[in-house]
């Protein structure tokens, strides 16, 4: 876990960074003017004014380290007669060429070679809609699915020379599906509130979420409320006051929910999320600035400066996990937990990853 202040820019394991906007006069929490508060309608108008002030000129987040990808046609994987070779294929992508030779045999002349592949579902024919075995024995997947993960064995027969007898070789590969992590920002913020049983708190919560959602809409990001609670807080050397504790997430609308917003490199989800994060931080900072310049009494519901906190969460989808010890060549990939254990009954995999980043997966029955 890495923590940082909001003044700065903005995982193999889950890592977080925390931030909070600049601190203004926290004394507002105890020094509200004695006069009557502004109307609750004014609170909504005040929030709307902040949105109009929010600018879209923000910095970029440094790109997250990406998983080790083996999806290019030029990548070719050779086997070993001593141990199974691990191969990682991005979900729904074309695989590298998995060769039915060792590195030594690849550089040798083979007489009358014969290749035969077997996978989790039995013998693989030379070509079908998703799998291809070339004339030289290479195994290629056109659109790799979860259920294709598992152990693949190639049986090779060949003669080193015309005069020699036929030799046999068996090569094993463990082929894993992997996917990009699911990453998002999680924010918490506190507001001075109306009495906890007041309907005005609920109305304010809905309006705040609408404003935050509108703020990041053009970035193809979405805001989701995770938790909202009202509590009585005993202040230092003061009495009780009501506070709303908001927890919400900001995530990118990924390709599984629809087409990519654009094909440009700058439209990657991590960069769009970084822009959304900065807009939200600026929105809360501007609430502090605007309220600090007010001559009138504070509204009944207002943001408590210095309480915005943010964490960056990097997790795998159900049935996938990161494990640097088991997958050292794909340390930041969300690798399928148990290749070959696909359960067609509910579309899940047995949970056998030693990874804290696996969540929500069902056990196979």
pLDDT tens per residue across span 259-294: 444 444 445 777 889 999 999 999 999 999 988 888
Bridge pairing between strands 97-102 and 76-79: parallel
- Is residue 68 exposed (0-12), middle (13-18) or buried (19+ Cβ within 10 Å)? middle
- Could you tell me the two tokens for 10? 């903005």
Look over the chain and give the mean of its residue pLDDT values, rounded to a whole number: 75
DSSP 8-state symbol, 146: G
- For the question of whether the overall pTM of this predicted structure is more than 0.85, the answer is no
Which has the closest alpha carbon to 18: 268, 316, 358, 307? Answer: 307
Taking only the tens place, the pLDDT of each residue in 206-237 is: 999 999 999 999 999 999 999 999 999 988 87
CB-CB contact of 15 with 358 (8 Å): no
Over residues 97-108, mean pLDDT: 93
**Which pLDDT does position 259 carry in this prediction?**
41
Separation in Å, CA 168 to CA 22, 122, 154, 155: 70, 20, 11, 7
Q: What are the b/e assignments for 147-162, b being 16+ CB within 10 Å?
A: bbbbebbbbbebeeee
CA atoms within 13 A on the CB side of 351: 12
| pLDDT score for 353 | 52
% residues pLDDT > 70 (the chain): 68
Neighbours of 57 (CB within 10 A): 8
C-alpha distance across the termini of the chain, in Å: 35
C-alpha closest to that of 11 among 351, 313, 318, 276: 313
pLDDT at residue 330, as a whole number: 87
What pLDDT is stored for residue 254 in this prediction? 63
- Name the percent of the chain in helix, strand, coil, to the closest 5: 20, 30, 50
Q: What does the pLDDT look like over 347-361, one tens digit per residue?
A: 433 343 544 333 333
Q: Does the pLDDT value for residue 64 go beyond 70?
A: no
Q: Are strands 167-179 and 85-90 parallel, antiparallel or unpaired?
A: parallel
pLDDT in tens, 4-20: 334 433 333 333 333 44
């Amino acid at each position: 876990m890495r923590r940082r202040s909001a003044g700065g820019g903005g995982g193999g394991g889950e890592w977080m960074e925390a931030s909070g906007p600049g601190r203004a006069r926290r004394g507002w929490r105890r020094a509200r003017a004695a006069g009557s508060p502004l109307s609750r309608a004014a609170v909504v108008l005040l929030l709307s004014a902040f949105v109009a002030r929010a600018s879209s000129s923000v910095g970029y987040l440094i790109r997250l380290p990406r998983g080790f990808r083996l999806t290019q046609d030029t990548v070719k994987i050779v086997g070993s007669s001593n141990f199974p070779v691990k191969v990682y294929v991005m979900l729904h992508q074309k695989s590298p060429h998995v060769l039915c030779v060792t590195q030594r045999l690849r550089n040798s002349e083979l007489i009358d070679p014969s290749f035969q592949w077997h996978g989790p579902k039995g013998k693989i024919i030379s070509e079908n809609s998703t799998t291809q075995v070339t004339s030289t024995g290479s195994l290629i997947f056109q659109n790799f699915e979860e259920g294709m993960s598992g152990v693949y064995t190639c049986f090779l027969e060949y003669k080193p020379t015309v005069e020699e007898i036929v030799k046999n070789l068996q090569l094993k590969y463990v082929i894993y599906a992997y996917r990009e992590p699911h990453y998002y920002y999680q924010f918490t913020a506190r507001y001075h509130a109306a009495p906890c049983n007041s309907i005005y708190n609920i109305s304010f919560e809905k309006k705040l979420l609408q404003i935050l959602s509108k703020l990041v809409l053009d970035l193809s990001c979405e805001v989701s409320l995770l938790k909202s609670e009202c509590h009585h807080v005993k202040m230092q050397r003061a009495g009780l006051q009501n506070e709303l504790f908001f927890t919400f997430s900001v995530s990118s609308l990924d390709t599984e929910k629809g087409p990519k917003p654009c094909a440009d490199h700058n439209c990657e989800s991590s960069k769009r999320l970084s822009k959304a994060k900065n807009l939200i931080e600026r929105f809360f900072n501007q609430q502090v600035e605007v309220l600090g310049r007010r001559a009138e009494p504070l509204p009944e519901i207002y943001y408590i400066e210095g309480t915005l906190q943010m964490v960056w969460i990097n997790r795998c989808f159900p049935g996938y996990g990161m494990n640097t010890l088991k997958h050292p060549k794909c340390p930041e990939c969300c690798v399928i937990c148990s290749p070959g254990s696909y359960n067609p009954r509910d579309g899940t995999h047995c949970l056998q990853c030693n990874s804290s980043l696996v969540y929500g997966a069902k056990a196979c029955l």
